Amino acid sequence: MTELLEIRDRIKGIFASYEVFILPVVKFLLGLVCFGMLNSKLGYMTRINNIAVVLILALLCSFLPPVGMVLLAALISLLHLYALSLEAAIIGFAVYLVMFLLFFRFAPKDSVAVILTPITCALGLPCIVPISAGLLGGPSSAVSVGCGVMVYILLHGITQSAPTINGMEDSEATAKVRLVVDSLLGNKQMIVMIAAFAITVIVAYLVRRMAIDYSWTIAIIAGALVDIIILLVGDLMYDTNISFLSIIISSLLGALIGKLVEFFRFGLDYNRTEKVQFEDDEYYYYVKAVPKLSVVGGEKTVKRINTAKSRKRTRYEDDYYDRGRGTYVGRYEEDDEYYDDAYEDDEY
Amino acid sequence: MINEDRVILMTKMASYEEHEAKENMAIGRYFRSDYIAIQVLKAVISVTIAFAVIFAIFLFYDFEKYMQDIYEMDILSFAKNILKYYIVAVVVYAGICYGVCTYRYIKARKSLKLYYQNLKKLDKMYTE
């Protein structure tokens, strides 16, 4: 455990020192994955479906705030939908606009959750994000995760309907709109997933805020269980065709990531909990103090080769003139011992 | 000499100013009723635009049917129905927005109060 804590502190130290470089690199990689997946899953507009565009956009994202990545991703997906059919692009734009107006204004800071949720859903690991969102964010993160699910279902539905849309005549605009809208609204999977993820986020958030021992661990387990149960019950009730294996694996992965988040963000030592009680004029205070898990870094010892007498000293502010000895005296520390060091200053 | 307590307090306050202060100060500039009224007004405008977009898609979804039935359907009762849905949407959304904004305002004021207390503490440290 001590070694793990040392590694954690070292990683935190590296991140604190090189944050200016690490954050843009992480954003660049996230952008690369996001735009790469959009191009590989949709890819209807050949002009933007190439690695150069993806690299330029990812590079742009490394300097923009996270919400910039959301806007760019929305723009790229709309361009692909436009290349497929104008009607699909209009519906896509309408869904994004409604999401932006109604939901996104409540959780503008959770842009990363909006990006990560569709990515994990497309990878077949949908339950990874909600637990971490509940641990790191607030109840409003449920909105961001829900928006992410909606985006995934919209794009997935359009991808599934693409061959049919391609086969339709230009005059069949209403039929195309109906097809796209049905793929979104008639999708029970979307409702079950949004409900499951929103409840998971809220449960994880509420439990981790409780004043109980191991609250974060309990929140992770409770979140994972709630997620699995709601998705399975939803599958039984509405026949959503969500893979049982992917639910279990992604929930376990989500719990594992949650534990990592806890280790880096929270990490308390409950064995050394202290309960104190005191009072002032107005209140009695029952305080429970839980110390953070920490490790004292190994002290660096510097071995001095030259002896104290032969050392050349220069005068410091706290050195004083000893009239008895007729010299300046300074104090220095060596091997936890203090020594008075008499010396003659060059200037005096 | 460096005063450690002062440096710690200033670092905390600088971090707060960097991250949350701007947003909280923007909220704290308003009286509670003014802030909530503006936010609810924005919510009403947002929900109106969103409702118009959804209604347009709804019309386009069954466009052919409406075109065939336009002379037979009771347009007044259709409009009444739409208005009813619109009012329900506005009331529900504005209600949610009212709750969220009240919570945000209280939280921001509390946080600003603590910030100003720290400012006073810092000022005291300098005068001591």
Q: Does A174 touch chain B (CB under 8 A)?
A: yes
pLDDT: which is higher, A324 or A63: A63
Nearest chain A Cα to B59, which residue?
A: A174
DSSP per residue, A5-71: HHHHHHHHHHHHHHHHHHHHHHHHHHHHHHHHHHHHHT---TTT-SHHHHHHHHHHHHHS-HHHHHH
Instruction: State yes or no: pLDDT of B81 exceeds 80.
Output: yes
A50/A40 Cα distance (integer angstroms): 10
Tell whether A95 is covered by a domain.
Answer: yes
Q: State yes or no: pLDDT of A338 exceeds 60.
A: no
3-state secondary structure at position A339:
strand
Partner residues linked to A337 by β-bridges: A334
What is residue B41's predicted lDDT score, i.e. its pLDDT?
94
Q: What is the mean pLDDT of chain B?
A: 86
Q: Do B60 and A106 touch (CB under 8 A)?
A: no
Contact A97 B54 (CB under 8 A): no
Residue of chain B with shortest Cα separation from A179: B61
Specify the pLDDT at position A319. 62
Which one, of B21, B30, B27, B26, lies nearest residue B114 by Cα? B21
Is residue A159 a part of any domain in this protein? yes
Which residues in chain A have their CB less than 8 angstroms from residue B100's CB? 106
Q: What's residue A326's pLDDT?
A: 61
Q: CA separation (Å) from A207 to A6, A135, A286, A315, B120? A: 28, 9, 21, 59, 36
Residue A298, pLDDT > 60, answer: no
Find the mean pLDDT for residues A39-52.
88
Query: Is B46 within 8 Å of A97 when comparing Cβ atoms?
Result: no
**pLDDT interval class at B98 (50, 70, 90):** very high
Task: Establish if A346 belongs to a structural domain.
Answer: yes
Query: Per-residue pLDDT averaged across B1-21, rounded?
Result: 77
Domain boundary among A223, A250, A267: A267
Q: What is the signed CA dihedral for B99, B104, B107, B111, rounded to 10 degrees?
A: -170
Count of CB pairs separated by less than 8 Å, A with B: 32
Q: Are both A159 and A208 inside the same structural domain?
A: yes
Query: Is A91 an 8 Å CB contact of chain B?
Result: yes
Same domain assignment for residues A33 and A172: yes
Q: Judge whether residue B5 has pLDDT over 80.
A: no
Spell out which residues of chain B touch residue A177, defining contact as CB-CB under 8 Å.
Answer: 57, 60-61
pLDDT of A347:
45
Could you give the number of structural domains in chain A? 2
Q: Say yes or no to pLDDT of A88 above 80.
A: yes
Residue A259 has which token pair? 């534990």
Min Cα separation B115/chain A (Å): 22
Average pLDDT over residues B89-109: 91
User: pLDDT at residue A141 above 50?
Assistant: yes
- pLDDT above 60 (res A339): no
SS3 content of chain B, % helix, strand, coil (to 5): 90, 0, 10
CA A305, A310, A314, A315: dihedral to nearest 10 degrees? 120
Q: How many CB atoms lie within 10 A of CB A201?
A: 32
Same domain (yes/no): A82, A138: yes
Q: Are residue A112 and residue A256 in the same domain, yes or no? A: yes
In this complex, the residue of B42, B50, B61 whose CB is nearest that of residue A98 is B50
In this structure, the number of other CB atoms found within 10 A of the CB of residue A46 comes to 8
Q: What percent of chain A has pLDDT over 70?
A: 84
Give A246 to chain B, closest Cα distance, Å: 34
Check whether B10 has a pLDDT greater than 60.
Answer: yes
Residue A119 inside a domain? The answer is yes
Same domain, A242 and A317: no
Q: What is the pLDDT of residues B20-60, one digit of tens each?
A: 788 888 888 888 889 999 999 999 999 999 999 999 988 88
In terms of domains, do A173 and A35 share one?
Answer: yes
- In which region does residue A347 sit, left (phi positive, over 0), alpha (psi from -120 to 50) or beta (all else)? alpha
Provide the domain limits for residue A340: 303-348
Instruction: Determine, yes or no, domain membership for A118.
Output: yes
A228 and A322 fall within a common domain: no
Do both A60 and A136 map to the same domain? yes
Greatest mean pLDDT range, A3-7, A35-39, A296-300: A35-39
- Write the pLDDT tens digit of every residue in A235-281: 888 887 788 888 899 899 989 998 888 888 777 777 777 777 777 77
| Residues of chain A positioned with their CB less than 8 A from the CB of B42 | 105
Query: Do the domain assignments include residue A294?
Result: no
Same domain (yes/no): A244, A317: no
Please compute the mean of the pLDDT values over residues A67-72 and round it to a whole number: 90
pTM of the model: 0.76
ipTM above 0.90, yes or no: no
Are the beta carbons of B46 and A105 separated by less than 8 Å? yes
Q: Does A137 lie in the same domain as A53?
A: yes
Residues A90-119 have pLDDT tens digits of: 999 999 999 888 887 777 778 888 899 999
Q: Are residues A222 and A337 in the same domain?
A: no
**How confident is the model at residue A200, as a pLDDT?**
93
Are A28 and A128 within one domain?
yes
Residue A344 has pLDDT above 90, yes or no: no
Residue A286 lies in a domain: no
Q: What's residue B25's pLDDT? A: 84
pLDDT at A324 over 70: no
